[in-house]
Structure formats: structure tokens, C-alpha cells
Amino acid sequence: MKTIYTFLLIMAFGFVGYAQKPALQPSVSATETSSFSINKVYPNPVKDFVTVELQSEVTGTIQVSLFNILGTEVKKWETQSLYNGDQKIKLDLSQLKTGVYILKINKQGLIRTQVVKKN
């Protein structure tokens, strides 16, 4: 019983100490963090192909990857350009098994994700 109380006491002080730590400041500015977004992913659930609508304030390159629910990367597309304004990309998921996946788009360290269900 003493061990449980000791554990709870350590946990309580650990959480208090964690709560008092100052928040880390992001290394990118507010302008950069809003430089692109995923507007729409359809159809979702997807059978073979999925369309991703993106919006970007700044031209750059993106890396698109797909992960299973265990966090394993199952597909990675070639790096492509993302231009200023609205843009659509079409991704082939026909070779994947039925399941739930996480679509990850990385634009120069800025990451956006979207859950995609494959039927």
C-alpha cells in the first residue's frame, strides 16, 4: 500500500511540475503556419482514387505520404510543387488494403494530416 501512495505522490508532483513549465515557442511564424491547408479530401471513404484539394499562400514543394493506423508508412508519392492558390492532387490508393489511413502532407516542415478510409 505504501508503494501505491508513493507512486501517486510522485505522479502528483510530476504533473504539477509539468504544468508549470513554460510553453515552447514554435520556430515558425504565424504567417508560415497558415501558408497551406487541406480544404477537402473526397471521396471519403475511397475506393481507388482520392482527390485532395489544397490551398497555399506561398509556392513550395510538398511530400505526400500515407500511414496505416499503426503509424507505418505504406505509400510515399514523389515530391511535387504546390503553387500559390487552390490546387487539386489525385492520389491512387487502388493497391492498398481496406482500412483506415492517415494522409500526411509535409510542406517544408509544416505538416497537415487527414484521415482517409479505404473500402
Has residue 103 been placed in a domain?
Answer: yes
Please count the residues of the chain: 119
Please list the pLDDT of the chain residue by residue as tens digits (119 residues): 444 444 444 444 444 343 444 444 444 444 444 589 999 999 999 999 999 999 999 999 999 999 999 999 999 999 999 999 999 999 999 999 999 999 999 998 999 999 999 99
Has residue 4 been placed in a domain?
Answer: no
Q: What is the CATH number of the domain that holds 52?
A: 2.60.40.2550
Has residue 85 been placed in a domain?
Answer: yes
- Whether this prediction's pTM lies above 0.85 is answered by no
Has residue 74 been placed in a domain?
Answer: yes
Handedness of CA 72, 62, 87, 112 (dihedral sign): positive
Query: Within its chain, how far is the Cα of 51 from the centroid?
Result: 17
Residue 108: domain span: 28-118
DSSP 96: S
Q: In the chain, how many domains are there?
A: 1
